[in-house]
Structure 1
Amino acid sequence: MTSSVLELRDVTFRREGTRILHGIDLTVRAGEHWALLGPNGAGKSTVLGFCGALTHPTSGTVDVLGRRLGRVELQALRRDIGHVNPRHPLRSPLTVTEVVLTGITGTIETPMRWVPTAEQVRKARSLIAGVGLSSLGDAIWPTLSQGERGRTLIARALVADPRLLLLDEPTTGLDVAAREQLLETVDALAHTAPDLASILVTHHLEELPESTTHALVLSHGEVVRAGRVEDVVTTETITRAFEYPIAVARENGRWSARAVRDPHAATPAPSLVAR
């Protein structure tokens, strides 16, 4: 059986006495690509915090890349985890190549007195080309579009050869063309990095990459359903999680969601995506 890169067992989490998560179980194996779905407040960000070794559970166990949270030096563990966050807080005018290289140091800015090797620069430029930005290696961060930034951050996340890739709403702020370009980049990872495991958080079913293999649906801090994506992302499960009648469809590998129309209503129900 393929080795697991992430295991959550009976995980609970409380913040200031309020239960955020209760009894979460999740196993992610090498080469699997998971979607993390659920309404606002369901606990998705907290689960992603466990996956990224940023948050400790109140009870239960979290093993990331074979190392248990609470028994391992977190900074060292995080270097083996790639993280794509569209709210990347960079303020300096670094070039695309320099931004990608900060994935090696695990920093936002380029560390003082740190000089990358020629091999590291070569690898960064190869990844930049791989995400379709070969002509922008010397472009500076403030001049990039949101879509170009998103693809730069994917290259940054991959430069340190992570075993686990976390994508936190990576299509936030993108127009349709930029969204599709980014999803194509994510889909390509299934071929260019076949052993890489990933977890993608989104509020919109149409933003699930075609390469998604599994899904975890949360509601009120509990698992509604988890497993193969075709078994989990269904009308029944999404309706239950979002507590609203939502019809789910899949065509050519991509998902969509709409409100179920009430034939007795005076006006049709509005179009809806999973938010």
Structure 2
Amino acid sequence: MPTVLQLTDVSVVREGSRVVDSVSWTVDSDERWVVLGPNGAGKTTILQVAAAQTHPSSGDVEILGEDLGSVDLFELRPRIGFASTTIARRIPAKEKVVDVVLTAAYSVTGRWNEEYESVDVRRAHRVLDEWKLDHLSERLFGELSDGEQKRVQIARSVMTDPELLLLDEPAASLDLGAREELLQMLGGYASSEGAPAIVMVTHHVEEIPRGFTHALLLGKGSVIAAGPLAEVITAETLGEAFGLALTVTEEGGRYTARAIS
């Protein structure tokens, strides 16, 4: 399968600190990756690099066949679906839900004077329906619950039929019911025919949806392990990353990790 993302010896330095340290990583189009690691491990920074939102301090990045640093970002970014708290903060609270999704066609976060074709409007409503949000299309983004806002962000990120979908902690802050509903939908989407390559950042193995295939485990900006889920999500590798003695279980494609007392 074709490669959609390739990082080669990538480092990111901020204010003298090496946030990402010599990371090499490849994602193919038929893979669904979860990125795990403790706070400060570099997870969000890696995702920002993959989204062409941040340039590395050193190393090479190829996204969708284009070299970051020489490609026109305005042409590349619409090919990437990206949902994160940073982007959510840019969405006006008084923006209608349908417009939150629709404006992804222009890679903007607030409707102004753009003109949209009827095909874009139909696509926005279809995506809202697929993510069980059609009944909220005329509601204001700021009126939604956390779970509803998370789903709207994902709907927005898939609006343009991206070739690469990046999700930064989509289940963070959700209660049990909202989390399980979202993970069920993400698992169904990840397993569907025609879904793009997906990379999802999370802190918790319990938030890995069914249908995901690979894991990248980070610690202090470096790769601890990368590969198929069953090889990476183990007591040994997670224990090394988080500095704890752990037990890890898997049932029906879902994982659980517990500290050994």
TM-score (norm 2): 0.95
Shift of 1:86: 4.0
Q: Given that residues 5 and 26 in structure 2 are in contact (C-alpha distance below 8 angstroms), is that contact kept between their aligned partners in structure 1? A: yes
Match of 1:271 in 2: none
| Partner-residue secondary structure (3-state), 1:157 | helix
Shift of 1:13: 2.0
CA deviation digits over 1:111-144, x for unaligned, max 9?
A: x321221111111111101001122222221221
Q: Give unmatched runs, 5+ long, in structure 2.
A: none
Code of the residue aligned with 1:234 in structure 2: it is T
Match of 2:48 in 1: 49
Query: Does 2:69 align with 1:58?
Result: no
Match of 2:15 in 1: 16
CA deviation digits over 1:170-198, x for unaligned, max 9?
A: 11221111111111221122344534001
Match of 2:25 in 1: 26
1:198 and 1:96 map into 2 onto residues whose CA distance is 24
Q: Given that residues 190 and 212 in structure 2 are in contact (C-alpha distance below 8 angstroms), is that contact kept between their aligned partners in structure 1? A: no
Code of the residue aligned with 1:96 in structure 2: it is V
Code of the residue aligned with 1:38 in structure 2: it is G
| Partner-residue secondary structure (3-state), 1:79 | helix
Q: Given that residues 30 and 195 in structure 1 are in contact (C-alpha distance below 8 angstroms), is that contact kept between their aligned partners in structure 2? A: no
1:15 and 1:153 map into 2 onto residues whose CA distance is 28
CA deviation digits over 1:99-120, x for unaligned, max 9?
A: 110111111111x321221111
Shift of 1:65: 0.6
Q: Give unmatched runs, 5+ long, in structure 1.
A: 262-275
Match of 1:194 in 2: 194
Bigger-Rg structure (1/2): 1
Match of 2:116 in 1: 116
Code of the residue aligned with 1:157 in structure 2: it is S
Question: How much is the aligned-residue C-alpha RMSD, in angstroms?
Answer: 1.3
TM-score (norm 1): 0.90
Match of 1:259 in 2: 259
Match of 2:125 in 1: 125
| Higher share of residues assigned helix | 2
Shift of 1:12: 1.7
1:21 and 1:119 map into 2 onto residues whose CA distance is 41
Shift of 1:237: 0.2
Code of the residue aligned with 1:245 in structure 2: it is A
1:230 and 1:194 map into 2 onto residues whose CA distance is 24
Same amino acid, percent of matched pairs: 41
2:234 and 2:116 map into 1 onto residues whose CA distance is 47
| Partner-residue secondary structure (3-state), 2:151 | helix
Code of the residue aligned with 2:129 in structure 1: it is A
1:190 and 1:19 map into 2 onto residues whose CA distance is 33
Match of 2:215 in 1: 215
Shift of 1:17: 2.6
User: Superposition pairs for residues 1-275 of structure 1, below 5 Å?
Assistant: 2-86=1-85, 88-89=88-89, 90-110=91-111, 112-192=112-192, 194-261=194-261
Q: Given that residues 103 and 159 in structure 1 are in contact (C-alpha distance below 8 angstroms), is that contact kept between their aligned partners in structure 2? A: yes
2:183 and 2:26 map into 1 onto residues whose CA distance is 24
Shift of 1:204: 1.1
2:21 and 2:7 map into 1 onto residues whose CA distance is 12
Residues 191, 258 of structure 1: alpha-carbon distance in 2 compared, 3 angstrom cutoff: closer
